[in-house]
Chain A
């Protein structure tokens, strides 16, 4: 069964601190992995997209890593800000060749940054 598991479910950190969120997946065959940020009451917004051959991708203070062999990814946030408080969702795309690759979403990690 194609699944995406994220940990921790929720996380509270102080402003300025770093944190790392984890994602494990069983989606196969794999096409790409994405991290989204979803603010409360808003739609998800893409942070990074990585394919099989990429093992790290940065977007400002966000750095995603991918180990396609162990089917694990992480999202590292440095120097956290209050505006980082959101749900971070790991999304894996199923590779179906020339047809649409279905997206599989994790449940998200709810990050709260305290001043």
Chain B
């Protein structure tokens, strides 16, 4: 079956430009996560959805970052007025239920954002 997909795979933006990154989770997966992975680093948590509800957004680095999942399926991570420090790979992951205990997260391939 289809895994988690993300688009675009690569995005180059000029500083100050707004960008929107899309995540299509595995069908039926309740939970959806966004992570930011800087070069040579491990992923850092950004935000978490359970269905359409954004239950945790404490990892979003600034108010320029906004995520939504209006129908509890596809999610969009929006970054306004991009800065060079926003350059990273943005990973999306989904899981069947909430992420307690041993529930597995399945990751997408990521979107590599480069801000010039």
Contacts and interface: CB of A to CB of B under 8 A. Distances in A.
A35 to B, nearest CB: 12
B25 interface: no
Nearest to A50: B102
Contact of B45 (A4, A89, A102): A102
B109 A89 contact: no
Give chain A's interface residue range (CB within 8 Å of chain B).
20 to 34
Contact of A31 (B40, B91, B93, B101): B101
Chain B interface SS verdict (over half): loop
A42 B106 CA distance: 12
A105 B42 contact: yes
B100 A100 contact: yes
Given A31-B100, A51-B101, A101-B100, A43 B41 contact: no
Interface in B30-68: 33, 35, 40-45, 48, 55-56
Contacts of B93: 43
B43 A44 contact: yes
A45 B80 CA distance: 30
Contacts of A32: 101-102
A107 interface: yes
A49 interface: yes
Interface of A: 4, 31-32, 41-46, 49, 51, 89, 91, 93, 98-103, 105-108
Given A41-B109, A43-B108, A107-B41, 19 more contacts: A31-B101, A41-B110, A43-B4, A43-B93, A43-B110, A46-B104, A46-B105, A49-B104, A51-B102, A89-B43, A91-B42, A98-B100, A99-B55, A100-B48, A100-B55, A101-B99, A101-B101, A107-B42, A108-B42
